[in-house]
Structure 1
């Protein structure tokens, strides 16, 4: 059957995609970020992951506020990469896995999640900004993507606990699929940032580190927080962190952090973290090793 082999948390800042497309990987301002993704890309290549399940949000590219779903799942052979105003990106259309996507959709509805299902719609930087840093794409992507969009723009938003439970339901859906697929779940957005209003440029590194600690060790504490809590601690746009909770819900139980890179050079704390499931005996050793992770 399909199984989850790991999880990734990643920022989806649109300028990451712009810098990537302009070949700025070795630019002094960008190199620390791009270098931080290389261990994650190497791990994905080593594990030969078949599918990435992306929890992301659409930035009014495919959906607009007249009809903006709380949860939406894409089912298609291919998804175009959205032109968000800078022209079409030199990336192949993102591959889907229709049978697997349809199975997850049916399973989630049967698990009492009322989904919107979309086909052939473009995916914006919420998914497409970090994707080429994780997977090679010449001439094509090595696997498929299951895009699951979460509303973090138009109130009322789903609660942190609801997103965590969505991740748990996605895990049940994945593990009930009969094909032998290696799946990695990806939570995107954040961490602390605010790009409008009186607190434009706000960041909170202390909170970012505490969020990452709780995400690993005690995610239940994060599910008890309100949207106002997230906004107060991390800025208005840091409410995107509830998408990381969907990822964490999908990889239940003890986990071990294999890699973390935190880079604060713009208005957003750009972060990538890689996790695997871990038995309780591994946790102490893993935490000791993580002390030296940047």
Structure 2
């Protein structure tokens, strides 16, 4: 049967993708941010996982104000990089795993999650930047990817508790899939940042690191953080961290940290990254 072997989180800052695409990862400004991913790249090369369930948010590439799904799952065989206004990133097309995706969609809906099923969509930096951070610039991505998009752009986003519960439901779905697959779950976005208004540039390193601390172990404290705390402490875009809770919920009762990285600033954002494994 399929099994979830690990989970990880990472910021999906578009400037990180641009630095990779333009060959600037070794520049003085960018090198410290990318250094924190070297361990994970080597680890991923050893893991050779079959599928990544990648939790991200769309940035008005696949969805707009006409359609705002709270949770959407991509069930296609392939997803093309989105044109976000300056052309698509020069990265490979994302290969899906339609059989597992449809199985997860069915399981989640019967588990009373109202998923939006997407059979055609382009994927933007929210999904492609994490792939580049973990796998570099290959001719083809070494894993198949099931995109799960979460609305954290337009109020109201789902609660942290609901995202954690979605992760738990994803774990049940994966465990019931009969094919022998190694699956990772990635939560992306964050950490603290605000892109506009009087608090533009806000970074709260103390709060971010407490959040990273509480992803490890058997505490479920993070699932109960209210929206207003994310807004007050981490800026208007810090709410993206609820997507990390989908990953954490999928890993079960307790976790162990394999690798952790935190760096400020990258562009005007805090970079956060952690690799976890479930503890039975």
Fold-level match, TM-score > 0.5? yes
Structure 2: how far apart are the matches of 1:37 and 1:151? Answer: 26
Contact map agreement 2:12 2:188 (CA 8 A) in 1: yes
Structure 2: how far apart are the matches of 1:107 and 1:250? Answer: 14
Contact map agreement 1:136 1:142 (CA 8 A) in 2: no
Contact map agreement 1:219 1:245 (CA 8 A) in 2: no
SS where residue 134 of structure 1 aligns? helix
1:220: Cα distance to partner? 2.0
What is the match of residue 272 of structure 2? 271
Q: Identify unmatched segments of 5+ residues in structure 1.
A: 280-294
1:194: Cα distance to partner? 0.6
Q: Identify unmatched segments of 5+ residues in structure 2.
A: none
What is the match of residue 261 of structure 2? 261
Taking structure 2 as the reference length, the TM-score comes to 0.97
1:217: Cα distance to partner? 3.4
Contact map agreement 2:219 2:254 (CA 8 A) in 1: no
Contact map agreement 1:81 1:122 (CA 8 A) in 2: yes
Structure 1: how far apart are the matches of 2:137 and 2:97? Answer: 17
Q: How do residues 64-83 of structure 1 correspond to structure 2 at under 5 angstroms?
A: 64-83=64-83
What is the match of residue 195 of structure 2? 195
Question: For residues 72-128 of structure 1, what are the alpha-carbon distances to aligned partners after superposition, in whole Å with 9 as ceiling and x for unaligned?
Answer: 000111100111122222211101011011101101001000011112310011111
Q: How do residues 7-156 of structure 1 correspond to structure 2 at under 5 angstroms?
A: 7-136=7-136, 138-156=138-156
- Which has the larger helix fraction? 1
Structure 2: how far apart are the matches of 1:217 and 1:179? Answer: 29
Taking structure 1 as the reference length, the TM-score comes to 0.92
1:243: Cα distance to partner? 0.3
> Aligned-residue CA RMSD in angstroms?
1.2
SS where residue 46 of structure 1 aligns? helix
Structure 2: how far apart are the matches of 1:181 and 1:278? Answer: 19
SS where residue 271 of structure 1 aligns? strand
Structure 2: how far apart are the matches of 1:154 and 1:61? Answer: 14
1:135: Cα distance to partner? 2.2
1:134: Cα distance to partner? 1.0
Structure 1: how far apart are the matches of 2:269 and 2:200? Answer: 10
SS where residue 46 of structure 2 aligns? helix
Greater shift, 209-218 or 57-66, is seen at 209-218
Structure 2: how far apart are the matches of 1:17 and 1:92? Answer: 13
